[in-house]
Amino acid sequence: MSSMTMSPRIASWLQATPFTLIMTCLVMVPLAIILAVSFMDYGFAEIIPEFYLGNWTDLFRSSLTVDTYATVFRQLAMVWSITLVLGFTISYYLVFHVRSNMWRAIFLAACAIPFWTSGPIRMISWVPLLGREGLVNQALFGMGLIDQPISWLLYSEFSVILVYVNMLTMAMAGPIANSMAKISPSIIQAARDQGASEWQVIQEVIIPLIKPGIVVGTIFIITAVMGDGFLVRAMSGNQMNTPAVAIMNEINAFQFPPAAAKSVVLLVIVLGMVGLLLRFVDIRKELAR
Amino acid sequence: MGTKRTTSFYVLSFVFAAFLIFLYGPMFCVYLLSFQGPEGGMSFPMRGFSTVWFETLFTAGGRGVGDIHNSFIRSLRLGAIVALLTMLIGLAVGMSFRRRYPGGNFVFYSAIVSMIVPGIFVGFGISLTLNMLGMRPQWWYSGIGAQLTWSLPFAMLIMFIILGRMDKSYEEAATDLGANSFQRFQYVILPLILPGVIGMFMAGFTSSYEEAARAGLNIGTGNTMPMELTGLLGAATTPVMFAVGTLTTLFMFTMVIVTLLASWSLAKRRQLRLTAHHA
């Protein structure tokens, strides 16, 4: 790779080749294959490579499609608004209120450590807390607030949202904190000197400057919630149906072409939402800053 | 912000403390309940303390344990290879971005697409592609490949950030002193970006160890850890799953500490060598 014998452009191409091959062959081509298969016929556990529109007509005729999307959008709205408020509050505290760098590092590490435990274990860890005989019910019972256990704490939409918030708040807080750390202290000092209150500084100075962070965090939340089937299945006790769960069920039943059609719809929606968000921020410029 | 702590500081401290309890509460339940007595169940109260659930875990064919030993070994093997490949390929693509080149934007945005597209679609797409080609999934090509689509974009971002912040004048100084491109890489760039390189290895390992959406359909026979645990979740009736949680957390903890110590001692050795040269 000596620059004396090779032009820099060719050196760059060679360096990027393995990466680009993997992204092309294992992401781009497979996504195109999903689209192709969505127009194919199928038999029992096999794909019949003949043009067939049935997967698509079934999908648009089914009332299940609308129901699953209503469910996932409701969940997304709740998870997004909670993680946004919580993630903003935590980042704001860590960046602007914690003064010592050491404590900031310790607090950040403290937020990251629980994620070293594997996902499925973190899901099951809610059973001793929220179950019928869980700590929350025991405590409420002990205080005389209830006379029989609350059953909607676990295997319900409540537990799905709670665990999403538990797992995804840091995905929102991270990009926001990153944007906040780039704000020059002198800007905030200037606003303070002009007599702005803390709340006015947040509204007029900080929020406009952290929009890129909010956009990136929102993208993480959208892809995580829209694309997840595992968490919903585990935390709702297999009682909730989202588009991703429907796709996973069909894949498990070897019904690949209808699963492919559903995948295309979900993908177009996710990529459309993300594409819309990316119009507000230049990721490449943000990263290099 | 000022010198005196405002009310908002105390309110926010309280919110942050509550958030930490929200994060750690369930985890402490896992650690504590993994030492549940032999008569105890998956909920409190503790019926005595014992290590009986750890013993069940290490007994071949223990109840509720499934194929967890082999799954763990499979996950380690997969994670180590994915981490190594992530580090090497990520380093290469990162170096390519040090100059602008035609197609560079395509490379960058293909990584962004791979990060944004939910994992099940990448996994499903790869499995359909194999199906069309008449190939059977095997962990050592489709399994590793599927996971690289998840770990590599992160590696690229790490390199992007770390090379973007590197002071170019060191490199220019080396060139002025007559260093060729190999020497520049070995003696100037690599030492400066070493934390990022180790970071890519760690990111590769942890993302592989946790990943199931992409690899699940493409791993061939034999579950990895997250797949096996998800399978056991539904049928879990005893605290044995909590014992798994305690042990795997301990394992990850050790991994991270060892990596941190390794990168710290590497940095220190470099420092010593540099001072020796100056003396």
pLDDT at A18 over 90: yes
Q: pLDDT digits over B121-171, tens only?
A: 999 999 999 998 989 998 889 999 999 999 999 999 889 888 877 777 888
Is-contact A174 A83, C-beta < 8 A? no
> Based on the structure, what is the number of domains in chain A?
1
Looking at the complex, report in whole angstroms how far the Cα of residue B219 sits from the nearest Cα belonging to chain A.
14
Neighbouring C-alpha atoms within 13 Å toward the C-beta of A3: 13
Q: Is residue A166 part of a domain?
A: yes
Q: For residue B44, list chain A residues with Cβ-Cβ distance below 8 A.
A: 128, 134-135, 138
CB within 8 Å: A121 and B244:
yes
With CA atoms as reference, the chain A residue closest to B101 would be A9
CB within 8 Å: B118 and A228:
yes
DSSP state of B137: P
Set out the domains of chain B in order of their start, with CATH numbers: 26-58+237-279 (no CATH), 68-235 (1.10.3720.10)
Supply φ then ψ for residue B116, to 5 degrees: -80, -40
Measured CA to CA, the distance from residue A166 to residue A247 in angstroms comes to: 25
Measured CA to CA, the distance from residue A20 to residue A18 in angstroms comes to: 6
Supply φ then ψ for residue A40, to 5 degrees: -110, 160
Measured CA to CA, the distance from residue B160 to residue B155 in angstroms comes to: 8
- In the prediction, which pLDDT does A2 show? 45
CA distances from B39 to A281, B43, B48, B52, B239 (A): 57, 12, 8, 10, 10
Q: Is residue A110 part of a domain?
A: yes
CB within 8 Å: B121 and A267:
yes
Q: For residue B152, list chain A residues with Cβ-Cβ distance below 8 A.
A: 19, 22-23
Looking at the complex, report in whole angstroms how far the Cα of residue A116 sits from the nearest Cα belonging to chain B.
6
Helix, strand, or coil here: A51? strand
Q: Is residue A68 part of a domain?
A: yes
Q: What residues of chain B score a pLDDT lower than 70? A: 1-4, 60-64, 274, 277-279
Optimal mutation site among B117, B210, B211, interface A, most CBs of chain A within 10 A? B117
Measured CA to CA, the distance from residue B39 to residue B49 in angstroms comes to: 10
Q: Is residue A33 part of a domain?
A: no
Q: Is residue A264 part of a domain?
A: yes
The CATH number linked to A175 is 1.10.3720.10
Q: Is residue A133 part of a domain?
A: yes
Q: Is residue A16 part of a domain?
A: no
- In the prediction, which pLDDT does B161 show? 83
B49 beta partners: B36
Q: What is the ipTM of this complex?
A: 0.88
CB within 8 Å: A227 and B121:
yes
Which two tokens mark B264?
A: 């710290």
Q: For residue B108, list chain A residues with Cβ-Cβ distance below 8 A.
A: 284
- In the prediction, which pLDDT does A80 show? 98
Domain of residue A136: give its range.
62-288
User: In this complex, which of B121, B241, B253 lies closest to A34 when CB atoms are compared?
Assistant: B121
CB within 8 Å: A4 and B180:
yes
Measured CA to CA, the distance from residue B144 to residue B138 in angstroms comes to: 9
Measured CA to CA, the distance from residue B20 to residue B177 in angstroms comes to: 52
- In the prediction, which pLDDT does A63 show? 81
What beta strand segments (E) does chain B contain?
Answer: none
Q: Is residue A38 part of a domain?
A: no
Q: pLDDT digits over A58-109, tens only?
A: 888 888 888 999 999 999 999 999 999 999 999 999 999 988 888 888 898 8
Q: How confident is the model at residue A1 (pLDDT cuts 50, 70, 90)?
A: very low
